[in-house]
Structure 1
Amino acid sequence: MTGHTELPLLFLDVDGPLLPFGEDPQRAPRVATPDSRLARLTSEVRRRLAALPCELIWATTWEDEANAEIAPRIGLPRLPVVSWPESTDQHAREDQWFGLHWKTRPLVNWAGGRPFAWVDDEITDADREWVSAHHSGQALLHHVESYRGLADEDFAALDQWLRAL
């Protein structure tokens, strides 16, 4: 193999994608307790994440707690963690005005031009448009329904996109 190529990044949110919450609007309500949410974290989730050709990065308000609570539960090693800037950042008001998620700009900065996928339950078209205008590499902003979390079709879409790079 000639030359070193860096893997694309996969920015992973916890609440919603890994720990679903809320209810499917089409179904009868059920109560989701913190324990029932954590019970969803299995080695199967780790196997599917580890099979993706990327470098996993925590992109969650859990920050390093994701390494303490989530990673060991599913058998992942400690992962890099995005540290979020204080909301007094000069871009915060402008981002809010344009409907950008508060994570969008920091993730593009963190990626530094590397290709990345971002899995979150709060991604909108405003985030996709901003990333396409401000990120020099390829990017996939993949929205996951917060009531169901990462499902087969999400893993398939991520795998297909990452392998096509």
Structure 2
Amino acid sequence: MLLFLDIDGTLIPFGAPADHPYPVYGTDPTPSSPLLTRIDPALGPRLEALRCDLVWATTWMDDANTVVSPWLGLPPLPVVEWPDEEEPPSLLHWKTRALVAWAAEQPFVWIDDEITEADSAWVAIHHHRPALLHRVDHEFGLTDADFTALEEWLRTNRGPR
């Protein structure tokens, strides 16, 4: 089972009201991203515990492996290379078609803060294996409730790995 993982708004929460300060997890030893310390390093082991093949699906591209993977204690992960293409059909997220193509006929989970019903409907028509498009609230990033939903779906839909 593949798990496509976004970073901004998914691992790095943003956009909360000013009276809701984000926790800070340590200090970033590099000036790579001032928001890196918003990522809870405990998310790395929790993601690995889902027993999926983790894949970066983010505009961070290879920086996800040089900056975020070490912060989370993850090994380098495959990175989806985004094709240069025209704007996708209206309402469809620009990542949707590329992720379905990357997954081929493998079941997958996609975790992102920008997924819409249009993406879910398109995937249901164009991908013939189980797929969960899980939208995360960008103000909080991945939460316990998100992990509960992911674990329940995986229990029901996981085939042989």
CA distance in 1, matches of 2:117, 2:44: 29
| Structure 1 runs (4+) greater than 4 angstroms displaced | 29-34
Unmatched runs of 5 consecutive residues or more in structure 1: 1-7
- TM-score normalised by structure 1 residue count: 0.84
Alignment of 1:1-165 (within 5 A): 8-24=1-17, 28=19, 30=21, 35=34, 37-88=35-86, 92=87, 95-97=88-90, 99-165=91-157
Decide whether aligned partners of structure 1 residues 30 and 51 sit closer, same or farther in structure 2, where only a CA change above 3 A counts. Answer: closer
RMSD of Structure 2 on Structure 1 (CA): 2.0
| Compared CA separation, residues 126 and 43, structure 1 to 2 (3 A) | same
3-state SS, counterpart of residue 126 of structure 1: helix
Q: Is the 2:23–2:38 contact (alpha carbons within 8 Å) kept by the matching residues of 1?
A: no
Is the contact between residue 41 and residue 73 of structure 2 (CA under 8 Å) also seen in structure 1?
yes
2:54 counterpart SS class: strand
Structure 2: runs of 5 or more not aligned: 25-32
Query: Whose helix proportion is higher, 1 or 2?
Result: 1
Provide the TM-score with structure 2 as the length reference: 0.86
Secondary structure of the corresponding residue to residue 42 of structure 2: helix
